[in-house]
């Protein structure tokens, strides 16, 4: 494979355009682009929102309505937009406290306010060097590359290609600011179980994340032939990153809670949406919960490891379905918090911004696992969607 340094990365700042994995020179960004998934904010929004999410897949409204009931159960309102408004405000406050004078522009992929509007507003204000911050910590098509493709699409569709550049902070799955809130949540949950007299061997921790197609998972992370490729095992970078973070969390909890080193844990998946004929990552969280009593488990802590905040998948799939599954088999259950706007997490996000403002060398960047620090510039063919193929993408080496 051609060396990445021989490529020019499109849509990027001059510092990132060489294609080197890490940008280790300071970049004077004009603003931060907070990129979210988006969600409906009323019953009339639900089906149009789901059409946006599934665009190009030809799914009829009757099938979309099967998913819509999750949103309708909560009045048609996803919590995600309110959470991103809160995150935007928290970022602005932390930036101001540190004396970093950067505006935060917020746009979504699937619902208003859209990314197109955010980038257009930034350009109108003269802020043309943007640093993207996607609201997803891990590597896969849906959690990284799809955001990068949307960045490129927006620049092309708005005619701002060549005027506005968009880089992106590294995937932050193992940044201490993201990891610590999970450590706190698991410590409190298992500490409560143990304090109530439940033996460590009768407690289980389930780290839950969004299932994705197995083919997408296998193509997450650098491809074979790239000098940064490593054998990450079944599930590619996506599964490996979650497993690595879960191990760090459990080790930290074991160091703080007596007996926690004897507590078992698993990585589980949720929110599968593909046809039965298509392999997706398993096991499903509810299937695992159903088997826990036979293993002598009396209490389970469910950790939304794949989520930054309380998305609909957390409120429905974990707080509703998984909790019901635990109740049905007679075991205690606790769902631990997502990072949300935890001050440690918000501070960590601004640390990631500061890395790029200062050009912090990779060797000096904090990371809690051996997989990090992840790349600033995504590697060639990273996180391919095998069904849709490659589209132009910012913040990475083509394709």
For residues 253 and 231, give the distance between their C-alpha atoms in angstroms, rounded to a whole number: 28
Q: Would you say 232 and 382 are in contact if contact means Cβ atoms under 8 Å apart?
A: no
Confidence grade of residue 304 (pLDDT, cut at 50, 70, 90):
very high
Cis peptide, bond prior to residue 24, ω within 30 of zero: no
Backbone angles phi, psi at 160, to 5 degrees: -95, 0
Cα distances from 368 to residues 4, 52, 179, in angstroms, run: 27, 36, 8
Q: What's the pLDDT tens digit per position in 118-132?
A: 999 999 999 999 999
Residue 60 has pLDDT above 80, yes or no: yes
Q: Mean pLDDT, to the nearest integer, of 216-220?
A: 94
- SS3 labels along 167-201: EECCCCCCCHHHHHHHHHHHHHHHHHHHHCCCCHH
> Do 304 and 208 contact (CB within 8 A), yes or no?
yes
Task: Give the pLDDT confidence score for residue 357 in this predicted structure.
Answer: 98
Evaluate if residue 193 carries a pLDDT over 80: yes
Lowest model confidence (mean pLDDT) among 163-172, 200-209, 349-358, 387-396: 387-396
Q: What pLDDT shows up at residue 225?
A: 67
Q: Is the dihedral of CA 75, 78, 83, 88 positive or negative?
A: negative
Question: CA–CA separation, 154 vs 103, rounded Å?
Answer: 19
pTM value surpassing 0.85: yes
Choose the most confident range, by mean pLDDT, from 4-18, 63-77, 190-204, 382-396. 190-204
Is 210 annotated to bind ligand?
Answer: yes
Mean pLDDT over the full length of the chain: 95
Greatest CA span in the chain, whole angstroms?
63
355: tokens are: 């890395």
Query: Residue 5 has what pLDDT?
Result: 44
What are 355's strand-pairing partners? none
Q: How confident is the model at residue 7 (pLDDT cuts 50, 70, 90)?
A: low
What sign does the CA torsion over 205, 208, 214, 217 have? negative
DSSP string of 266-308? EEEEE---S-TTS-B---BHHHHHHHTGGGT--EEEEE-TT-S
Q: Residue 313 annotated as binding?
A: yes
């Amino acid at each position: 494979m051609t060396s990445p340094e021989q490529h020019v990365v499109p849509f990027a700042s001059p510092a990132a355009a060489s294609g080197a994995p890490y940008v280790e020179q300071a970049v004077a960004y004009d603003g931060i682009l907070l990129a979210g998934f988006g969600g409906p904010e009323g019953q009339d929004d639900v089906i149009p929102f789901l059409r946006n999410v599934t665009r190009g897949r030809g799914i009829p409204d009757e099938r979309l309505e099967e998913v819509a009931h999750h949103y309708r159960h909560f009045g048609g309102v996803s919590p995600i937009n309110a959470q991103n408004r809160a995150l935007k405000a928290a970022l602005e406050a932390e930036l101001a406290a540190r004396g970093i004078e950067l505006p935060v522009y917020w746009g979504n992929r699937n619902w208003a306010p859209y990314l197109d509007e955010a980038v257009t507003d930034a350009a109108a204000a003269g802020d043309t060097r943007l640093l993207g911050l996607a609201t997803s910590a891990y590597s896969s098509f849906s959690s990284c590359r799809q955001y990068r493709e949307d960045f490129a699409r927006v620049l092309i569709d708005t005619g701002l290609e060549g005027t506005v550049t968009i880089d992106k902070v590294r995937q932050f799955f193992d940044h201490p600011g993201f990891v610590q809130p999970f450590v706190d949540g698991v410590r409190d949950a298992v500490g409560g179980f143990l304090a109530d007299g439940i033996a460590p061997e009768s407690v289980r921790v389930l780290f839950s994340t969004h299932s994705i197609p197995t083919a997408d998972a296998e193509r997450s992370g650098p491809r074979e032939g790239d000098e940064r490729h490593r054998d990450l095992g079944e599930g590619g970078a996506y599964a490996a990153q979650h497993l690595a973070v879960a191990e760090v969390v459990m080790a930290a909890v074991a160091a703080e809670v007596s007996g926690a080193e004897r507590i078992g844990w698993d990585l589980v998946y949720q929110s599968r949406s593909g046809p039965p004929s298509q392999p997706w990552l398993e096991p499903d969280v509810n299937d695992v919960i159903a088997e826990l009593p036979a293993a002598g488990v009396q209490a389970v802590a469910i950790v939304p490891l794949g989520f930054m905040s309380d998305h609909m998948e957390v409120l429905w799939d974990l707080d509703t379905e998984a909790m019901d599954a635990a109740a049905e088999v007679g075991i205690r259950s606790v769902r631990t918090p997502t990072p949300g706007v935890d001050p440690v997490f918000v501070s960590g996000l601004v640390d990631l911004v500061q890395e790029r403002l200062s050009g912090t060398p990779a060797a000096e960047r904090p990371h809690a696992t051996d997989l990090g620090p992840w790349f600033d510039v995504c590697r060639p063919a990273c996180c391919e969607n095998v069904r849709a193929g490659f589209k132009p993408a910012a913040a990475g080496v083509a394709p």
